[in-house]
Amino acid sequence: MPPSATPASRRSEAPLRRAASLEPWPSLPYDLRPMALRCNIVTPTESVLDSEASYIEFPAWDGQKGVAPGAAPFLVRLGEGRLRVEKTGGPALFLLDGGFAQMNGGTLTILADSITAASDLTASAAESELNAANAEALRVGSLESRAKAEHRQRLAYARVSLARSGRR
pLDDT tens, residue by residue, 89-148:
889 999 999 999 999 988 999 999 999 998 888 888 888 888 888 888 888 878 888 888
Across 39-48, 84-93, 133-142, which has the greatest mean pLDDT?
39-48
- Residue pair 129/159 in contact (Cβ under 8 Å)? The answer is yes
Identify whether the C-beta of residue 162 lies closer than 8 Å to the C-beta of residue 118.
yes
Q: Which helix (H) or strand (E) holds 161?
A: helix 143-164
DSSP H stretches of helix in 41-142: 123-139
Helix (H) or strand (E) holding 96: strand 90-104
- Per-residue pLDDT at 36 exceeds 80: no
Give the lowest-confidence range in 13-17, 56-60, 110-114: 13-17
Helices 143-164 and 123-139, packing angle to 10 deg: 160
